[in-house]
Amino acid sequence: VVATDFQHLPRMLASLSAQNVQARGIATSRSTPHSLRPKDFLPNVSSYSKINYLIHEVIGLLYYRYSGYISFSDIFPETERGI
């Protein structure tokens, strides 16, 4: 069982899968959803922080993928393609 932040979980599980370690993930934090309001579509500091974090994780996955640490099938284990 791996316990880590919700956003780090896919990359951590993919890394373990690439090492032939079967693991189940538990997210330690996750923001609770709320009803969308018109102001949710306006730029704000909180949104910038979230998109910055998303970009960080996508770059991390791409780096792991193209450095050979993980494969496509480690990121998306339900597929058999292994791109």
Give the model confidence (pLDDT) of 6-44 as tens digits: 777 888 888 888 888 888 888 877 665 567 678 777 788
Percent of the chain with pLDDT over 90: 2
* pLDDT (0 to 100) of residue 75: 76
Please choose, from the candidates 5, 3, 4, 7, the residue with its C-alpha nearest in 3D space to the C-alpha of residue 53: 7
